[in-house]
Amino acid sequence: MLLLRTLLQMPELRLSLHTGEDQLDRTVTRVYGTELPDPSRYLSGGELVLSGLLWHHGPQDSETFVRSLALAKVAGLAASETENRALPEDLVDACVRHHVPLLEVPVDLSFATITERVSMELVGLSRHRRLLNVVAEGSGLPALLLAGAHELSAPCWVLSTTGRVVAGGELQGRITLVKEFLQADRLPKTVRGVTLVPVSERGGSRLTSWILVVGGEPQQEAATELASLVALERLRQAQGRQIENRTAAPLVTAVLSGSADLESRLAAAGLENARLRVISAVTSDQRTELAAAVLEETLPQALVTPVGDMVYAVAKADDSLPDDVREAMRVMEPGLGSSRVLVGISSPVEWRGLRGAAEEATHARRLSERRGGRTCVVAGEEIALHQLLLAGVPEELRGSLRRRLLGPVLDYDAEHGSDLAGTLKVFLDCSGSWTVAAAKLHVHVNTLRYRVGRVEELLGVDLAEFEARVDLFLALQAG
């Protein structure tokens, strides 16, 4: 039996007690690392919960997190900040209020060391210890996965929900497996000859989880154990990325404002000599954290930061990047729920063109809002100049311009049940060719001439004039 009191007496762990002095005889049954805002569904009682507090943004977050631990009857919480500062006071207060013992982990002590030491006490020289040794040695995820495959006597992979193979080599049918994972009622799930096990989720969403894929039907406890260790490696990467992304916010701010120190900020991020793209993303329900998580999973090497309700990223340019993002978004669609994810991507530019690239990405993202689909990715080089210009015009102004230029035709169509506006659009799309437009509309050329003449009469324009055609073409596009 392992008690919390015993952990505090282990000199190599250097844990310090903040709250719960009268609850140190609680029994620890296992170690669980998490950054979920509410991890209760993964807890069965008796856990020593390890957290780097990546979920913490304020007092309400502490209340939600600690209450979930109390309801699950965990043994205690061992927490550490990613920077050298004290634990949040609201977290301490919540632990006192809900009677959850709170232990502080020194910033220079890894969670892997705690997990190894506690697990050695719990299970002795076991499979778990052997795997923990790999984690403690800092060999990384590929080595852990190889060791896990040996212990489980089955091949193992780790996937992201974009279909990217995080570790484990090529895996056939990975896109199908991701979709099965996102649509599963219960996990772990055995499908197509493999078992899918969730690796601790960020933000409480399966959409931004990793997936441990194990060949065959392994012992569930063993597979879950390996997934928990993969989660520690993921947490380590997340903490590293959080540190890297500290440069993202000032960099994007400099990009959007055209700041004079942009070049130096790019140099600090190691991007000063690279061709770059700017990415703008938003969800239909303004879930900024979801948009950020999606971009981080889709573009693991990009610098990502929220700006108001939007999320921006700066990434090294790649000709295939728009297609890669589009495919990744398509894979993630089953896990989006009611949200739409809309993304605009700029054309590749040198650093001096980044401010214009940010505007282009924003306009492209606005254009994506007018298209269909659960996810929509629009790249600047894929759209015509007039579409980019219109995307930058407020919707109310676009409607006003459309009404001013086409009002009589729109009213005539509404009154007579006709479609002169549609005829005009086809005619202009066909560059004013009578024969091509008539064929596309399946009408005689004389019929088309009559309809176009009626449009000219209603609007008081001469469609032989180039400027009139341009104005009406833009008005039709603005709808």
- Give the model's pLDDT for residue 388: 56
The residues, any chain, with a CB within 8 Å of residue 11's CB and separated by 6 or more, are none
Q: How far apart are CA 328 and CA 375, in angstroms?
A: 10
DSSP, collapsed to helix, strand or coil, labels residue 201 as coil
Positions in the chain short of pLDDT 70: 82-84, 123-129, 200-205, 241-242, 244-245, 383-399, 478-479
Q: pLDDT tens for residues 244-282?
A: 667 777 888 888 877 878 888 888 777 878 889 999 999
How far does Cα 172 stand from its chain's mean position? 24
Give the predicted TM-score (pTM) of the model: 0.54
Amino acid code (one letter) for 291 = A
- Give the model's pLDDT for residue 124: 41
Which residue do the tokens 């108001």 mark? 308
Look at residues 308, 317, 301, 371 and name the one whose alpha carbon lies nearest to residue 343: 371
How far lies 397's CA from each of 208, 388, 391, 422, 478, in Å?
Answer: 38, 15, 11, 21, 9
| Residue 160: φ, ψ to 5° | -95, 165
Look at residues 398, 161, 437 and name the one whose alpha carbon lies nearest to residue 297: 161
Spatial contact of 62 and 46, defined as CB atoms under 8 Å apart = no
